[in-house]
Structure 1
Amino acid sequence: MSRTDPYAFEFDDGTVREWRLTDRGAEPTLVEDYTPALFVSGPDDALADLRARLESDPKTVETRVERWATDLHEAHVGERSELLRVGCDRVDDVRQLAREIRGVHESGTHAPGTFRLFDVDLEPGFRYCLDRGIDPAPTRELRTLRLELEDRELADGDVSGLRIEDEPVAGEDGGGDPRSALETLRTRLEREDPDVLVVSHGELIPLLSEHATELGFEEDEFHLGRVPGWTQLAGENTYESYGRVGHSPARYRAPGRAIVDTSNSFLWNQSGLAGLEYMVEQTGRPLQEAAWGSIGTLLTSRQIRLARREWAVLAPQNKWEPERFSDLRTLHAADRGGFTFEPKVGFHEDVHEIDFASLYPRIICEHGISPETVDCAHDAGDFVHDSHRVPELGYEVCEHVPEATDGDAAFLPTVLEPLLSDRGDIKARLADDPAEPEASRLRAESGAIKWVLVSCFGYQGYRNAKYGRIECHEAINAYARDVALTAKRRLEDAGWRIVHGIVDSLWVTPREGVEPEPLEAVIDEISADVGIPLEHDGSYEWVCFVPLRDSIPDGPDEGAGAFESGSAGALTKYFGKREAGAYKFRGIELRQRSTPAFVAESQRAFVEALDRERDPEAVCDVLERRLSSLRGGDVDPSALEITTRVSKPLSAYRKRTRTVAALERYERRGIDRQPGQSVRYVVADDDASGPERVRLSFEAGGEYDVDYYATQLVRACESVLSPLGWDRSRIRRALHDGRLLELSAFVD
């Protein structure tokens, strides 16, 4: 692959402008011979009729018949189908033509579903790189420039508050004004010539450009791209994924530069530029398209790229393969998730956490789980092939890889094995303690890989996954349960007690009165047995597993203080102290996005007090002091901000919630908040009605509802003390029993 490949692309009226990085900046090249295409499969007579119709369509440049595999099963048995390739004049014509094929040419003349469409919903840059064999990974270190504007200023159209690289842009008097802000930005753009604009909101692109025009800047005097002009690529929209409402803001293009909208880039916020660059290399999506893509989108892009290159399989517009019929016994066995062990609620000492490294991806690779291999379509008379059966389910997994493919493994393992290998190499390099910034880059790349590996399993069960299949999802779960039970039996035989386990992680402690076998030896034995590395993730001085909130028993009698209860435990709520001294928190309030900073900091103080004193009353002393600060007005209101996601439009809410009150205040300020976006507010008077119940984070005033936040503090304290059998009523009694505070209560 030539390393002079472009990194950014623009599509206008049938032409493509490629931008190649140079030592000094970037240079454009105009391409006029690109013909994007979609593919159609169907009965021969129907395809002939469609071809005749499309040849007279002005959007169509050419039509021809090509041989491709329409799915992984077809590729697996070495077959190909004849498909109609329809070349279009412009990239935007592809989706329009697909709609017309389905809604006009098929409707009324053919039965629904006569035609299957392929390579329809590909992003323009990704499509172009796929068609031309281009690797859009940057060929040198990218230069970035970060631009930020607060929500209120964005809503007001006030660009004087612009921040560049986290520094305010101010005028000579220190107050700032729009012209000086734009002049400063112009100077920075000319001097630094960034390859990537990292913006806090995509709407900054039109806002800054429109202000420049209003202030009299000529087009060649001020432009955010390397040449004048900007383009809106897509409008904002609301979507729902796995029952969660999300918001995708409008997207824009500035010629010659990639734009990363931090409000619309999960991967940027998790892994930064280094993680994005790694995924550009792995998926073939240009940087800007990789930035706005979800983890599922990036995984799908990698799959589409490998399917096209190594399996000659096109990307279907719609998933066609339904779940296969199964008998009742198989359905009962298959309709289960990963194995979980109910946590032993309480305070446990000398605990070890052990994890299967990338369990689900390694199961896929170890056992060759893939849509084309699980109960594959082989005719036994065609050729001899090896297979094995999935535990519990009996699904047959074919081990044959056809000679027609370029790889030597099933499809999903081909997608995942390079990522697993890279992550293993990164971990090994990080273990050598490299200097910064290499260590930072390696951590970012590892984080990007982790998210893709995490999603690969669930994506097999996603109804719209282009290369997903529910039977693969079920098979992976079955193997995971078998692995967990194998580990459980061996650990218990070796004298270890399991106090919690969830899918790929186990927490164990020595059984009372038993000298256990060395844990590392047991781990090595289990790893060899199941074929997946089991790693010792860490040792804890102590761990507390938190009970379900509605299962917390009534407070114990005076003098009781058992450090273990028998109530049901929450599967993902625990906290503990590692032997190295660091605390680990999962699921409790301080790990929740909506928890105010003051409550989160207080909960950490409760944990630290429990660690020092091993005494619930000492924790209550810290709570008493924190409540006193709250009631005395000593807490900065900014530390009481609550952040929550909006799930629907303001008009659709039926209950007068705090979120509704916040939305009403945003509306007063002229700030639009769509479903999927977040609101930030402080509870000012929880007994009030309407917007007076809260105030927004940027509004003046320092009032807050003491009783509301006191309740939040007590709930946070309850999460810490509930493993010891203390509920909220017991905590409140401790606060009112007249005890003198211990000196330790004043130590955070």
Structure 2
Amino acid sequence: MSPYTFEFEDGAVREWSLTDTGAAPTLVEDYTPSLFVSGPDDALADLRARLDPDPKVVATARDRWATDLHEAHVGERSRPLRVDCERVGEIRTLVREIRGVHERGTHAPGTFRLYDVDLEPGFRYCLDRRIDPTPTRELRTLRLELDDPALADGTVAALRLEGEPIIETASPADEFEILRTLNRRLERDDPDVLVVSHGDLIPLLERRASELGLEEFSLGRLPGWTQLAGENAFESYGRVGHSPARYRVPGRAIVDTSNSFLWNQSGLAGLEYMVAKTGRPLQEAAWGSIGTLLTSRQIRIARDDWGVLAPWNKWEPERFSDVSTLHAADRGGFTFAPEVGLHEDVHEIDFASLYPRIICEYGVSPETVDCAHDAGALECDSHRVPQLGYEICEGGARGTDDGPFLPSVLEPLLSDRAAIKERLADDPPEPEASRLRAESGAIKWVLVSCFGYQGYRNAKYGRIECHEAINAYARDIALTAKGRLEDAGWRIVHGIVDSLWVTPREGVDPEPLADVIADIGERVGIPLEHDGSYEWVCFVPLRESIPSADGAASEPADVSAATANAGRSATAPDSAPAGELNSAPAGALTKYFGKRESGQYKFRGIELRQRSTPEYVAESQRAFVAALDRERDPAAVCDVLERRLGALRRGEVDPAALEITKRVSKPLSAYHRRTRTVAALERYERRGVDRRPGQSVRYLVADDDARGPERVRLPFEANAAAGLEYDAAFYATLLVRACESVVSPLGWDRSRIRRHLREGRTVRLSAFVD
């Protein structure tokens, strides 16, 4: 059986292969990882002479590889220098020496280009040995959890096993028995995967067992543990993230749920699917980002099918373009102005996986966009990108039957997802359905990232012209769909990139929507699907453009075409005061809510979908939407708000339902304003709990007028303190804001809400129905 997890120590590799009863190790001592260097022949000869005596280097040779997709496309190969190293850990050391010593001393900067440098050890090993690390039987897991305060205090008394405490109301005196119980459970169940709430739980458990004299304790199938990487903060697309320290134990994969997006989105089944599609071992797939998983799949296909090495740094710059091309290319996806207001009989239609399907349908790939081959070297058909004029070469890699590179990466994923949807439509048994949903979710996230990754400056196989071409096709497709729908008697009330919301035009008998979308899909070559029908939908205006009680916007809206557009309400409830629905506020593209014909509500962009919104505010907003559905009257919604405000002010709300979650963007010392996040960080520091950039803080606002850490309380403080009070006025403001999002499509702003609450009207009975 193929191994599923690996350890690298002292120049050897220990492979762990699953058996029917557990896992068996195999020691491999002849593995020599390689990196590649390209450059002028004389420079490579000089570098080879310098590296041959290096004790870190086992051997050097000139191999034949393509160093980029363009070479593979026209059937050419280079002869880069292959450098075999004694150990995986010496790759980076050798790279620093090549850059900082061998190149700097005798050659111009950039003389050498390096390949296969920054690969994770397990992925590199599987790639070099052509190993498929997909588990060959059902994996056994064991879940271990410890909350942050206990982790900071270095005590394992509160350790939970599979969600349950090992000893109820345990004290530090019970730690020995807790660890002994855990060790017996490990021996009995022999798990293949440890699912831990935080990576630092690994050294804590091992250290406490050693301190308490529990010599037989081991989290792995063999004694010992290793730290693979320290914690660090990073920035991606303007957002600060945090990567915790990573650890390894012999013979078992570790999934750190605090550092695994894919685990939190699709669980073990989604992870196993991506292991099969990327060739990354389970533990490395678990901590990899979606972009990392996509890149791993690209690297594997480039190496195995195209004979292309993975560049360390992206070398290909953006090509020069004239001003008119830049003007046409520097645009995003097409959007249609949301018509702010409440609309009835609305249908949502969208293109299935639009961007990935554009890549596959039109052959968009780094080597095909304005293919640079000589006319005599490769003859192939081509077509032009609409608006931009880029030429798309329709040939695949020369000498193979493969099509363009990016489609070869994405088409199997699209096919798998389509097959999964068909299987789910047959209503399979729940265990199978759960696995299928997990696999579909994993595929979805990779497909979502594939388009943006083409414009990412560090994408190994990315190219900005591909990004621009995909957007151009998407805009052309959106306009084609618009024309056909309007000719068929349908009106677009909103549209954003790949989704459209349509309703029948007044006084027109439209063509059946199913026939129209089938025709559009056939015209553009990408399926257009009917995503759902709505009894009604509300499109929410931008907050600064919400009309006030006199019908005018509260302040001028300065909204760019890229983020919002103006619209007019199509449906005015009979109970709305005159004059309040006659303005045309700017609509927020991603904020809407509605009721499907199935009776389910759908929410996008409003407060209850935002991570920082307290649970009580989210529940209240759902109640506001339900009231709007029943009454179609903003006043009825405000009656529900009044009842909810009353409960809040009387102290009847559970403090746990008022917790706020915020992401930390920088260290505590770097903050200059006394925000609530700073107050929470100060309280975490008091309790000895580290919070680094990219991590989140959770807090309850106790007194928003206070200064310093007394402004907030932490969740574990709130749970421990009897009679802890919250700042009702602060949370009342959040409730009013959530209510405003619901009634603003009907023309009510915050001042109109507050005026209604002051008027002292009799509250209708429906206000007490959630």
Residue 402 of structure 1, CA deviation? 3.2
Matched, 1:286 2:308: no
How far does the alpha carbon of each residue in 1:516-574 deviate from its partner, in whole angstroms, 9 at most, with x for none? 11000000000000000000000000000000000001125783276675111000000
Counterpart for residue 528 of structure 1: 522
Local SS of the residue matching 2:63? strand
Matched, 1:743 2:765: yes
The partner residue of 2:415 within 415, 421, 424 is 421
Distance, in Å, in 2 between the alignment partners of 1:172 and 1:237 is 34
Counterpart for residue 145 of structure 2: 148
The partner residue of 1:411 within 402, 405, 410 is 405
Matched, 1:515 2:509: yes
The partner residue of 2:315 within 320, 333, 336 is 320
How far does the alpha carbon of each residue in 1:173-221 deviate from its partner, in whole angstroms, 9 at most, with x for none? 8997211210111111011000000000000000000000000011xx1
Normalising by structure 2, report the TM-score. Answer: 0.95
Counterpart for residue 45 of structure 1: 42
Local SS of the residue matching 2:3? coil
How far does the alpha carbon of each residue in 1:218-268 deviate from its partner, in whole angstroms, 9 at most, with x for none? 1xx100000100000000000000000000000000100000000000000
- Please show how residues 294-373 of structure 1 align to structure 2 within 5 Å: 294-373=289-368
Local SS of the residue matching 2:80? strand
Distance, in Å, in 2 between the alignment partners of 1:601 and 1:680 is 18
Distance, in Å, in 2 between the alignment partners of 1:500 and 1:56 is 67
Distance, in Å, in 2 between the alignment partners of 1:377 and 1:433 is 50
The partner residue of 1:106 within 103, 106, 111 is 103
Distance, in Å, in 1 between the alignment partners of 2:353 and 2:582 is 32
Residue 418 of structure 1, CA deviation? 0.0
CA contact (8 A) 2:397 2:404 kept: no
How far does the alpha carbon of each residue in 1:260-282 deviate from its partner, in whole angstroms, 9 at most, with x for none? 00000000000000000000000
Residue 436 of structure 1, CA deviation? 1.1
More deviation, 124-133/375-384: 375-384
Counterpart for residue 489 of structure 2: 495
Local SS of the residue matching 2:430? coil
Distance, in Å, in 1 between the alignment partners of 2:231 and 2:623 is 42
Counterpart for residue 591 of structure 1: 609
Q: Structure 1 residues 561 and 436, CA, compared in 2 at 3 Å: closer, same or farther?
A: farther
Local SS of the residue matching 1:437? helix
Counterpart for residue 728 of structure 2: 706
- Please show how residues 51-450 of structure 1 align to structure 2 within 5 Å: 51-170=48-167, 177-218=174-215, 221-405=216-400, 407-450=401-444
Matched, 1:27 2:24: yes
Residue 735 of structure 1, CA deviation? 0.6
The partner residue of 1:715 within 724, 728, 737 is 737
Amino acid at match of 2:95: A
Local SS of the residue matching 2:357? helix
Distance, in Å, in 1 between the alignment partners of 2:471 and 2:170 is 64
Residue 381 of structure 1, CA deviation? 2.4
Distance, in Å, in 1 between the alignment partners of 2:184 and 2:731 is 47
Matched, 1:732 2:754: yes
Distance, in Å, in 2 between the alignment partners of 1:375 and 1:162 is 59
Counterpart for residue 602 of structure 1: 620
CA contact (8 A) 1:556 1:725 kept: no
More deviation, 565-574/387-396: 565-574
Distance, in Å, in 1 between the alignment partners of 2:10 and 2:155 is 34
Distance, in Å, in 1 between the alignment partners of 2:598 and 2:168 is 50
Distance, in Å, in 2 between the alignment partners of 1:243 and 1:287 is 29
Residue 737 of structure 1, CA deviation? 0.5
Let me know the Cα RMSD of the aligned residues.
1.2
Distance, in Å, in 2 between the alignment partners of 1:253 and 1:679 is 27
Distance, in Å, in 1 between the alignment partners of 2:703 and 2:38 is 62
Distance, in Å, in 2 between the alignment partners of 1:46 and 1:301 is 30
How far does the alpha carbon of each residue in 1:322-355 deviate from its partner, in whole angstroms, 9 at most, with x for none? 0000000000000000000110000000000000
Gaps of 5+ in 1: none
- Please show how residues 639-678 of structure 1 align to structure 2 within 5 Å: 639-678=657-696
Distance, in Å, in 1 between the alignment partners of 2:201 and 2:394 is 53
Amino acid at match of 2:755: R
Residue 153 of structure 1, CA deviation? 0.6
Amino acid at match of 1:413: P
The partner residue of 1:16 within 10, 13, 16 is 13
How far does the alpha carbon of each residue in 1:119-160 deviate from its partner, in whole angstroms, 9 at most, with x for none? 000000000000000000000000000000001111011101
More deviation, 181-190/572-581: 181-190
More deviation, 456-465/559-568: 559-568
Amino acid at match of 1:339: F
Residue 703 of structure 1, CA deviation? 1.2
Local SS of the residue matching 1:67? coil
Distance, in Å, in 2 between the alignment partners of 1:203 and 1:716 is 38
How far does the alpha carbon of each residue in 1:576-612 deviate from its partner, in whole angstroms, 9 at most, with x for none? 0000000000000000000000000000000000001
Distance, in Å, in 1 between the alignment partners of 2:218 and 2:332 is 53
Distance, in Å, in 1 between the alignment partners of 2:745 and 2:319 is 45
CA contact (8 A) 1:565 1:723 kept: no
CA contact (8 A) 2:396 2:405 kept: no
Distance, in Å, in 2 between the alignment partners of 1:431 and 1:255 is 42
Counterpart for residue 697 of structure 1: 715
The partner residue of 1:634 within 625, 649, 652 is 652
Distance, in Å, in 2 between the alignment partners of 1:564 and 1:423 is 45
Counterpart for residue 618 of structure 1: 636
Residue 108 of structure 1, CA deviation? 2.2
Local SS of the residue matching 2:379? coil
Identical columns (%): 80
More deviation, 589-598/179-188: 179-188
Q: Structure 1 residues 326 and 693, CA, compared in 2 at 3 Å: closer, same or farther?
A: same
Q: Structure 1 residues 670 and 172, CA, compared in 2 at 3 Å: closer, same or farther?
A: closer
Distance, in Å, in 2 between the alignment partners of 1:273 and 1:562 is 52
Counterpart for residue 453 of structure 1: 447
Matched, 1:465 2:483: no
Local SS of the residue matching 2:104? coil
Normalising by structure 1, report the TM-score. Answer: 0.98
Distance, in Å, in 2 between the alignment partners of 1:128 and 1:68 is 19
Residue 400 of structure 1, CA deviation? 1.3
Distance, in Å, in 2 between the alignment partners of 1:742 and 1:682 is 32
Amino acid at match of 2:176: R
Counterpart for residue 683 of structure 1: 701
Distance, in Å, in 1 between the alignment partners of 2:85 and 2:496 is 51
Amino acid at match of 1:730: R
Amino acid at match of 1:81: S
Amino acid at match of 2:433: A
CA contact (8 A) 1:346 1:565 kept: no
Residue 385 of structure 1, CA deviation? 1.2
Gaps of 5+ in 2: 552-575
Distance, in Å, in 2 between the alignment partners of 1:520 and 1:402 is 39
Q: Structure 1 residues 714 and 674, CA, compared in 2 at 3 Å: closer, same or farther?
A: same
Q: How many residues align?
A: 742
CA contact (8 A) 2:549 2:580 kept: no
Residue 382 of structure 1, CA deviation? 2.2
Matched, 1:576 2:594: yes
Local SS of the residue matching 2:709? helix
Distance, in Å, in 2 between the alignment partners of 1:572 and 1:634 is 34
Amino acid at match of 1:293: G
How far does the alpha carbon of each residue in 1:630-672 deviate from its partner, in whole angstroms, 9 at most, with x for none? 0000000000000010000000001111000000000000111
Distance, in Å, in 2 between the alignment partners of 1:189 and 1:416 is 40
